[in-house]
Amino acid sequence: MNLFDEDMPRSPTENGNMGQEPRIDRRTWLTGAASLVGATAAGLLAPAWLPAEEGESARPTHVPGRSPSPYGVRAQGETIERLTLATHSLTPHQSLHGIITPSALHFERHHNGVPLINPDRHRLLIHGMVGRPLMFSMNDLVRFPSVTRTLFIECSGNSGHEWKGPAGKTVQDTHGLMSTSEWTGVPLATVLSESGVKPEALWVLAEGSDAAAMTRSLPLAEVLKNALLCYAQNGEALRPEQGYPLRLVIPGWEGNTCIKWLRRMKLGTAPFMTHEETSRYTDLMPDGTARQFTFVMEAKSVITSPSGGQRIEPGFVEIRGLAWSGRGAVRAVDISTDGGRIWHPAQLQEPVLPHCHTRFRFGWRWNGEEVLLQSRCTDETDYVQPTRAALVAARGVNSSYHYNAIQTWKVDQAGQVRNVQV
């Protein structure tokens, strides 16, 4: 089995529901119903949740609506979903707006399933090279001074199948292993200082309480800068699949370092060389050596609309997408409609936050000719998102992780959008 494969979406042929968007609009409902019950007197059946077509009950201004509810749900008929695989699910970026991913659509990656954890019994142990080992309950942790930050989390395997060629059909396939949430928690530095970290300690092991006991070794000086012990996501408790009740979040670093269901942090002098950081999460270079401890997710962007599987009409089209950088804030996004020869600056939607998705827009008129749409991100360090050719020249095609090349969507004369590489 290819170990790396677990961190990336399967190829489209392995997924029955890829490529075909399961969007259900009224027309689909009606035509679908008509084909099923064509012999009925009406010939058409509205979905059960829609009111009758005629009469008083069809008029929302004429009949009282429903009562308040204790926990909201989206409108019936709104059906966008994560695409679920054995160990992952992918965010449907082609259907989302703004920068916040709804918690229910935040991508997932589990190494052995989502554990069921009683928050009253959950503990975080700090031990190893510390003055005094400490054990914290969730109530203890929530009492510390907290901060809230809006941050992307990107799996290092996001776009990983694109190393070998244009694999994903949709942007959900190619870029669905990333999401953005507003995270609230306690700075890791605050909690570690309670234990008195010894000066010799240079690395810290973070361990989850899932059935994989997922672990990563992290360089202490780096994570002390801005890592958070998070207990809330988008204003409420973490979702179980996002690490409930406690998750380490390290701004801009590959998602696997943001240990979910966090239960233990051990201070030491060197990396702990655990299973996950030796068998997996290294990057094989063309000369046979491997890069290890490649934590930062480099600048990247993608056009989410129009994107693979969509169809556009001639005339005005707003090109929309997301840009981000693990090194800080996005400085600029440029758009090309000719495969990268001429670039035009896109508008960046405020706020432009460090280590966070930035929404970009570009007003465009499609004249019906074949085009190659691309976006290119430049971050605040002046790092420029590479072309595929430049990325492959530097890293070869043996890597499974850290694919951040410019994405190309080809629009044919029929307006159909497809994933290609140029």
The residues that touch Co ion, with contacts defined as CB under 5 A, are 156, 254, 294
What is the nearest approach in angstroms of Co ion to the Cβ of residue 341?
32
Query: Among residues 215 and 419, whose Cβ is nearest to Co ion?
Result: 215
Which residue's CB atom is positioned nearest to Co ion? 294
Q: Where are the beta strands (DSSP E) in 77-122?
A: 83-84, 88-90, 108-109
What is the nearest approach in angstroms of Co ion to the Cβ of residue 272?
16
Pairing state of beta strands 123-128 and 262-268? parallel
Contact 103, 233 (CB under 8 A): yes
What is the nearest approach in angstroms of Co ion to the Cβ of residue 292?
8
Query: Among residues 157 and 321, whose Cβ is nearest to Co ion?
Result: 157
258: Cβ contacts below 8 Å, ≥ 6 apart: 153, 243, 247, 248, 249, 250
What is the nearest approach in angstroms of Co ion to the Cβ of residue 382?
22
What is the nearest approach in angstroms of Co ion to the Cβ of residue 156?
5
Which tokens hold the place of 300?
């990247």
Query: Among residues 178 and 352, whose Cβ is nearest to Co ion?
Result: 178
Alpha helices (runs of H) in 135-217, residue ranges in sequence order:
138-142, 171-175, 188-195
Query: Among residues 103 and 156, whose Cβ is nearest to Co ion?
Result: 156
Query: Among residues 102 and 328, whose Cβ is nearest to Co ion?
Result: 328
What is the nearest approach in angstroms of Co ion to the Cβ of residue 290?
10
Query: Among residues 254 and 379, whose Cβ is nearest to Co ion?
Result: 254
Stated as kind and residue range, the H or E segment containing 347 is strand 347-348
Per DSSP, what are the bridge partners of residue 300? Answer: 324
Alpha helices (runs of H) in 102-152, residue ranges in sequence order:
138-142
Measure the N-to-C terminal CA separation of the chain; round to a whole number of Å.
30
Please count the other Cβ atoms lying within 10 Å of the Cβ belonging to residue 278: 13
